[in-house]
Structure 1
Amino acid sequence: MPNGVLAKSLIHKSMGQENPKQDQIFQESSPPKRSLRQAIEVISSLISYSLPIKVFAVKWQLIRNKLEELNSSLIAIEDCDSCQNPIVSGMMSAVLASARDCYDLARRCVDLSYSGKLLMQSDLDAMVAKFDRHVRNLSGIFTAGILSQGFAIVVSRPGVNACKDDVRFYVRDLLTRIKIGDLEMKRHALVNLYDVVVEDEKYVKIIVEVDDIVNILVSLLDSMEMELQQDAVKVVAVISGFDSYRSILIGAGIIGPLIRVLESGSEISKEGAARSLQKLTKNSDNAWSVSAYGGVTALLKICASADSTAELISPACGVLRNLAGVDEIKRFMIEEGAVSTFIKLARSKDEGVQISSIEFLQNIASGDESVRQLVVKEGGIRALVRVFDPKIARSSKSREMALRAIENLCFSSASSISVLMSYGFMDQLLFFLRNGDVSAQELALKAAFRLSGTSEETKKAMGDAGFMSEFVKFLDAKSFEVREMAAVALTSLVSVPKNRKKFVQDDRNVGFLLQLLDQEETNSAKCVQATSLLQMTTTSLHE
């Protein structure tokens, strides 16, 4: 049966248009559940019937949105004890009457038999308002506690290969429960929503397409019910992880509520809010919004508090790191004592906090000599050297970040290098050159290579510490990049007369270079490097 015929048949039967006497008997004897089922069928048929309509397309889309919302609400109360309530059964008659009027408008739009555009537009606007009123009336019933989770039908989650319509229907059902259910139903729906968005991106896409759902999630961030707030934050944190959907969250006004969660939410909610803000502030355009709502102060307070957990501090550091790119915000952070706060955090035993704080210090000092000097003055070098110390148990990632920060903050300044050496940095670097795994050795070599290109005093200190013999060993490495760095660094050190004499006094150094030349299958690049170094160093014998 065609959709139009089916819709007309269902509506006429429900409203008694075909047989007034039959309608009278039906209204007196039909059980409330049957009346509800008919309303659901009529609404579903009406949605299908309206799809091909070409005129007033925007108006009809608004009507369909309301019909789908209404249908989800009706399905949610089907098979529920509240069906016996006279208020609910009375509403079904009103819903069916509205459906009959809507079908009449749809038929005239299909047939193009309406009398005037303005009049039809007015009638369609009135229809949107009428269905919206039905939805709000149902919402009032839910709020009054007539329906609870224990009575509502649970719509099954669609399978992996489900079509888009099934997924959309499931999401709309969850939306309805979130909007008009009691506390238990709302929580259950939010948990289900989180489960699907974590597992499948297509649900995220549907969510941002469905009217109201993002706005409702944003509004729940301000909920007085902490459990609802926590569940909503979890969903938002997932959505904010997708680049293409962040603008939708921003457009829904999510920044302010997230900041308020940071200020007064539970620890779990704060963690989710910080993670969301970290993702949203990857776009520097959103930095000012965070600042305008007092977010910078709230985040600094979290980072400075002894009560904050590592799970909260780490993403909070990440947000502030993203905001540091805006000069005015960076200056405010510095005035509020951010440098000393993050130097303390760099001493944390938690890897995530340690790495995030070191990254922040690098970002805030990048290209700003005054801030770099402040980091040094506040004890930043000592904190970083301690993270790099091989005698203290640290993750390789933490050490890598500390070494990069040391290079960026110290290697451009002779005075900072002197401070570094006074803290035993040379010995640490040598330890990793000699004893580290391949990746640690390479990182240490890169740092030593950079260090060898600084001042004359630094070169002398490196020569005295024993770097030259370590560089010689790397001349036989498989990697061309490693050999090249070692050769350049060694050349730089032996350019200092004192180091050159020291180098040739150790027979092992010259012997190793000669050994490279004597190998049967000597790499030509190795030959050039070894020959050049031999020529340079042996001149010291005649000085």
Structure 2
Amino acid sequence: MRTTMGEEQGSQRSEADPRPQESSTGESSIRRSIQSISSLISLTYTIKIFAAKWKTITTKLEELNSGLVAIENCEANENPVLSGILSNTLPTINECHDLARRCVDLSYSGKLLMQSDLDMLSAKLDLHARSLSEIYNAGVLSHRFAIVVSRPGNGACREDMRFYVRDLMTRMKIGDAEMKRQALHNLHNSIVEDDKYVKVVVEHTDTVNLLISFLDSNEVEIQDGSSKIVSLISGFGSYKGILIGAGVIAPLIRVLEYGSKIGKEGSARSLQRLTENSDNGWSISAHGGVTALLKLCECGDSSAGLIGSACGVLKNLVGVEEIKRFMVEEGAITTFIRLVKSKDEALQINAIAFLQNIASGDEGIQNVVIKEGGIRALLCVSEPRSDCSCKVREIALRAIENLCFCCNSSVGVLIKYGFVDQLIYFLRNGEVSIQELALKVAIRLCETTEEAKKAMGDANFMTELVKFLDSKSFEVREMAAEALSSMVLIPKNRKRFVQDDRNIGLLLQRFDPDNLGNAGNKKFLFSILMSLTSCNSGRRKIAHSGYLKNIEKLAEAEVSDAKRIVKKLSTNRFRSMLSGIWHS
């Protein structure tokens, strides 16, 4: 009888088993909560009073809503913990509806009491969100699929963008590794396709802090995803301060030291951007960043992109004297001279820029660069027969000018290694841009030493410079005249110049009184001619030139420089030939 009654009672309990009903109720409670919160969020946007408090509550409602959506995408059946959270959440949502309606209708009893109620409501929403996060992270839910809220289309309003980003942030907070990875991936793609999402991301300190915390994640893909997003944010000047204030430097350096290739590249790009025109050098140095960056540049396994970004960071840091000295002591110059010889164009450019920056205005470091083979490396890069691009050659030529022309000994090394031959080649055969640069460099070289002027004369520079006097570009004509005026100060060069009758004729043609404005800087032209009258052969060839009449006309027109030249030509045995002109 007892057994029968027990079996009957057991049968009755089985038929009326509450668990399936609770499971069903639990699932419907999630859906009901999501729908209720969505409606509530729309209502909060209409509230005009207690705006700051309602803005905070709206943000928390959106995060809670995203968390419930994430939970809904899990196998939540037969989970009593979840049922308990939902049973506590629904009353809070109903309470929020009530408070929102009273604020819309202005039907509350007192401001102080309503402010207190809103503060308590905000605390309850925080508690619910934490509870959801805890059970999700505890792994008691089986992840089924993760339907991420669709990204708003182009031209979407800011509120839609914020809701989407908050949904992603919530998934990052409460989701498992796969959900975090997917959320980071979607956020990265959103920023790449529309940079307005960056502003949405940095609006909330919690979001920035979460991304930075992921830089220390043990999950490689999560660390990489965060590194790439931080790299994008760091590209916006107005947001660099937010990242720095949130403590991004130390985690980025840890990624540099221990992260994956993707993470390191993102970190290096971020640090390069964060050190542009800023005072973050000491922070990077304090966390061991300089050493980590130098190791990356020394490592043969590092990618060209990673080394290039690391070079960029170090280049930005050389402005701090103590850091610059530390780099030199750590062998940075040798490392970067080696990188100058790289086959990667971007790497070469970065390495050359670094050497220029670290040696700028510091004769001691310039000597180290020269001693370690920097001149030879730059000359190899600028060599016309090298495989380097025209851009790299131009940068190398500028570097040679900046690093070597300030010291007579280094100018001597340049000449010894055939730099003058390179310049004359570029003047004769280079593209327009590199021709003009070679001309500028030639002018600077003329200003260095007498040895340089003689070497340029021996290389037949003057014949090429005379040709440039007929250039269409006023700047080029002026530069050519300036270089020639400097070179013919050397007696040996003057004699070489006048040996070619064409040089005198081409020079005097530039003094056409009707077209003198197109000749270049006439101050330099007159200076050249005056120097040539210092030797007998020069005076003789000028006097016998069919273009001497150009000078005579200018002298008759009271051009003082022309009168001085005529006077010079009139002395001694030429006086009778040209008498009277300079007395007029």
Q: TM-score, normalised by structure 1?
A: 0.89
Letter in 1 for 2:308: S
Alignment of 1:258-273 (within 5 A): 258-273=252-267
**Residue identity (%):** 62
Alignment of 1:13-412 (within 5 A): 31-53=25-47, 56-78=50-72, 80-82=74-76, 85-106=79-100, 111=106, 113-114=108-109, 117=112, 121-145=115-139, 150-412=144-406
Change in 2 beyond 3 A, CA 1:311/1:523:
same
Change in 2 beyond 3 A, CA 1:30/1:383:
closer
From 478, 484, 494, the equivalent of 2:478 is 484
The superposition leaves residues 24-53 of structure 1 with CA deviations (integer Å, 9 ceiling, x where unpaired) of xxx989744432222123223333434455
2-structure distance, mates of 1:163, 1:36: 28
Change in 2 beyond 3 A, CA 1:438/1:148:
farther
1:537 aligns with 2:532: yes
Cross-structure match for 2:462: 468
2-structure distance, mates of 1:317, 1:447: 26
Return 82-91 or 305-314, whichever deviates more: 82-91
The superposition leaves residues 338-394 of structure 1 with CA deviations (integer Å, 9 ceiling, x where unpaired) of 222222222222222211111111111111121112212222111111111112110
2-structure distance, mates of 1:387, 1:519: 45
Deviation at 1:518, TM superposition (A): 7.0
Alignment of 1:412-491 (within 5 A): 412-491=406-485
The superposition leaves residues 148-187 of structure 1 with CA deviations (integer Å, 9 ceiling, x where unpaired) of 6642333212111211122111111111222112222211
Is 1:196–1:203's contact at 8 Å kept on the other side of the alignment?
yes
Change in 2 beyond 3 A, CA 1:538/1:293:
same
Change in 2 beyond 3 A, CA 1:523/1:116:
closer
Is 1:282–1:322's contact at 8 Å kept on the other side of the alignment?
yes
Return 96-105 or 299-308, whichever deviates more: 96-105
Return 179-188 or 426-435, whichever deviates more: 179-188
Is 1:78–1:153's contact at 8 Å kept on the other side of the alignment?
no
> Secondary structure of the residue that 2:61 maps to in structure 1?
helix
Deviation at 1:96, TM superposition (A): 1.1
Is 1:321–1:359's contact at 8 Å kept on the other side of the alignment?
yes
Unpaired segments of 5 or more residues in structure 1?
1-26
Deviation at 1:229, TM superposition (A): 0.8
Is 1:299–1:316's contact at 8 Å kept on the other side of the alignment?
yes
Is 2:70–2:175's contact at 8 Å kept on the other side of the alignment?
no
Is 2:62–2:167's contact at 8 Å kept on the other side of the alignment?
no
2-structure distance, mates of 1:59, 1:515: 84
Deviation at 1:538, TM superposition (A): 4.8
Change in 2 beyond 3 A, CA 1:429/1:139:
same
Deviation at 1:516, TM superposition (A): 4.7
> Secondary structure of the residue that 1:284 maps to in structure 2?
coil
Change in 2 beyond 3 A, CA 1:254/1:29:
closer
Is 1:354–1:398's contact at 8 Å kept on the other side of the alignment?
yes
Deviation at 1:232, TM superposition (A): 1.0
Return 236-245 or 334-343, whichever deviates more: 334-343
2-structure distance, mates of 1:248, 1:83: 43
Is 1:148–1:185's contact at 8 Å kept on the other side of the alignment?
no
2-structure distance, mates of 1:194, 1:309: 22
2-structure distance, mates of 1:312, 1:28: 55
Return 436-445 or 108-117, whichever deviates more: 108-117
Deviation at 1:146, TM superposition (A): 5.2
Deviation at 1:483, TM superposition (A): 0.6
2-structure distance, mates of 1:99, 1:198: 36
Deviation at 1:109, TM superposition (A): 5.1
Is 2:233–2:240's contact at 8 Å kept on the other side of the alignment?
yes
Q: TM-score, normalised by structure 2?
A: 0.83
Change in 2 beyond 3 A, CA 1:469/1:142:
same
Unpaired segments of 5 or more residues in structure 2?
1-20, 541-584
1-structure distance, mates of 2:165, 2:388: 45
Deviation at 1:113, TM superposition (A): 3.5
Is 1:278–1:315's contact at 8 Å kept on the other side of the alignment?
yes
Is 1:172–1:210's contact at 8 Å kept on the other side of the alignment?
no
Letter in 1 for 2:247: G
Change in 2 beyond 3 A, CA 1:330/1:78:
same
Return 486-495 or 374-383, whichever deviates more: 374-383
